[in-house]
Chain A
Amino acid sequence: MRNIYIDLFLTFARIGLFTFGGGYAMIPLIQKEAAENKHWVSDEEILDVVAIAESTPGPIAVNAATFIGSRTAGAAGAACATLGVVLPSFLIIAALSYVLEAFEQFKVVQYAFRGIRAGVLALILKALWSLFRNCRKDVLSYVLIAFAFFARIILKVDVIIIILICAAAGIVSSLITTSAGKKVRP
Chain B
Amino acid sequence: MICLDLFLTFFKIGLFTFGGGYAMLPLIQEEVPAHGWMAMDEIINFIAVSESTPGPFAVNIATYVGRMSAGIPGAVCATLGVVMPSFLVILIVAKVYAAFRKSRLVEGAMSGLRPAVIGLIAAALLSIGKEVFAAAAELSPGAVCVSAAIFAVMAILAFRKKHPVLIIALSAAAGIMAGYLKF
**Chains A and B are bound partners:** yes
A67 and B54 form a contact (CB under 8 A): no
Q: From residue B168, how far is it (CB to closest CB) to chain A in Å?
A: 6
**SS class, residues of chain A in contact with chain B:** helix
A173 and B108 form a contact (CB under 8 A): yes
A148 and B54 form a contact (CB under 8 A): no
How many residues of chain B are within 8 Å of chain A by beta carbon? 106
Does A58 belong to the interface (CB within 8 Å)? Answer: yes
A89 and B60 form a contact (CB under 8 A): yes
How many residues of chain A are within 8 Å of chain B by beta carbon? 100
In the complex, the chain A residue whose C-beta lies closest to that of B106 is A55
Q: From residue A3, how far is it (CB to closest CB) to chain B in Å?
A: 21
Q: Which residues of A have CB within 8 Å of B3? A: none
**Cα–Cα, bound, A79→B104 (Å):** 29
* CB within 8 Å for A63 and B157 given contacts A20-B165, A170-B111: no
A93 and B63 form a contact (CB under 8 A): yes
**Cα–Cα, bound, A76→B149 (Å):** 51
A160 and B45 form a contact (CB under 8 A): no
**Cα–Cα, bound, A158→B12 (Å):** 13
Does B68 belong to the interface (CB within 8 Å)? Answer: yes
* CB within 8 Å for A160 and B119 given contacts A19-B54, A111-B179: no
B179 and A148 form a contact (CB under 8 A): no
Name A82-126 residues within 8 Å CB distance of B. Answer: 82, 85-86, 88-90, 92-94, 96-97, 100-101, 107-108, 110-126
A96 and B49 form a contact (CB under 8 A): yes
B118 and A128 form a contact (CB under 8 A): yes
B83 and A146 form a contact (CB under 8 A): no
Does B137 belong to the interface (CB within 8 Å)? Answer: no
Among all A-B residue pairs, the 7 with the closest Cβ atoms: A115-B175, A170-B112, A89-B55, A148-B119, A58-B86, A119-B171, A111-B179
CB within 8 Å of A: which residues of B? 12, 14-22, 24-27, 30, 41, 44-45, 47-60, 63-64, 67-68, 72, 75, 79, 82-83, 85-87, 89-91, 93-94, 97, 100-101, 104-129, 132, 135-136, 143, 146-148, 150-151, 154-155, 157-159, 164-165, 167-168, 170-176, 178-180
